[in-house]
Amino acid sequence: MDVGSGWTRMGLAGQEKPSCVFPTIVGRMDLRTYDRIAGQDERVFVGHHAIDEANKRTADRELPDRRGPMPRPILLQRPLSEGVVTDWDDMEELWRFGIEDEMQLDAMEHPVLMADSTATEPSAREKATEVLMETLSTPAVHMALQPVLTLYACGPTSGLVVDIGESGTQATPIFDGFVVETGIRWVGLGGKDITRHLAALVNAKVGLLGGDDFDPDDPCDVMKLEALKAKVCFVSEDVDKDNAKMELSMSKPYTLPDGTRVTLGRERYRAAELLFDPAMSLREEESLPNTVLDSILSCDRKTWPILAQTVILTGGTTEMPGLNRRLQRELTKASRANGVRLKYTVMGPEDDHNNTVWIGGSMLVSAGALDGLWFTRAEYEEYGAGYIHSKFAA
Q: Which of 220, 244, 275 is the last residue of a domain?
A: 275
Whether the per-residue pLDDT at 308 is higher than 90: the answer is yes
Q: Indicate whether 88 belongs to any domain.
A: yes
The Cβ of residue 125 has, within 10 Å, a number of other Cβ atoms equal to 19
Q: pLDDT tens for residues 41-65?
A: 568 999 999 988 887 776 555 544 5
Q: In the prediction, which pLDDT does 42 show? A: 63
* Distance separating alpha carbons of residues 303 and 289, to the nearest angstrom: 18
| pLDDT digit string, tens, across residues 359-374 | 999 999 999 999 989 9
Q: Structural domain tally of the chain?
A: 2
pLDDT tier for residue 81 given thresholds of 50, 70 and 90 = confident
Q: Does the pLDDT of residue 5 top 80, yes or no? A: yes
Q: Tell me the C-alpha distance between 372 and 391, whole Å.
A: 9
Same domain, 48 and 133: yes
Q: 349: pLDDT confidence band, cut at 50, 70 and 90? A: low
pLDDT at 306 > cutoff 60: yes
Mean pLDDT, residues 330-343 = 94
Q: Are both 105 and 203 inside the same structural domain?
A: no
pTM of the model: 0.87
d(CA 141, CA 125): 11
Chosen domain end from 275, 304, 327: 275
In terms of residue numbers, what domain contains 230?
191-275
pLDDT at 387: 94
Q: Which residues pair with 28 in a beta bridge?
A: 44, 75
CB neighbour list of residue 301: distance below 8 Å, 6 or more residues apart: none
Q: Distance between CA atoms of 141 and 146, rounded to whole angstroms? A: 16
Kindly state the average pLDDT of the residues 326-337: 96
Distance of alpha carbon 277 from alpha carbon 156, whole angstroms: 31
Report the pLDDT value the prediction gives residue 70, as an integer from 0 to 100: 47
Residue 103 has pLDDT above 50, yes or no: yes
Residue where a domain stops, chosen among 236, 259, 275:
275
Q: Is residue 382 part of a domain?
A: yes
* Mean pLDDT along residues 23-37: 70
CATH number at residue 265: 3.90.640.10
Q: Fill in the amino acid letter for 323.
A: L
pLDDT-derived band at 72 (thresholds 50, 70, 90) equals low
Please classify residue 240 by burial: count the beta carbons closer than 10 Å to its beta carbon, then call 0-12 exposed, 13-18 middle and 19+ buried: exposed
Residue 208 has pLDDT above 80, yes or no: no
pLDDT at 236: 94
Q: How many other C-beta atoms are found inside a 10 Å radius of the C-beta of residue 166?
A: 23
Helix then strand then coil, in percent of the chain rounded to 5, is: 45, 20, 40
| Residue 351, domain member (yes or no) | no
Q: How confident is the model at residue 107 (pLDDT cuts 50, 70, 90)?
A: very high
Confidence of residue 10 (pLDDT cuts 50, 70, 90): very high
**Do the domain assignments include residue 170?**
no
In this structure, which amino acid lies at residue 166? E
User: How many Å apart are CA 330 and CA 132, to the nearest integer?
Assistant: 44
The number of beta carbons lying within 10 Å of the beta carbon of residue 374 is: 17
CATH of the domain at 92: 3.30.420.40
Q: What SS3 class is residue 221?
A: helix
Return the closest-CA partner of residue 44 out of 27, 19, 63, 69.
27
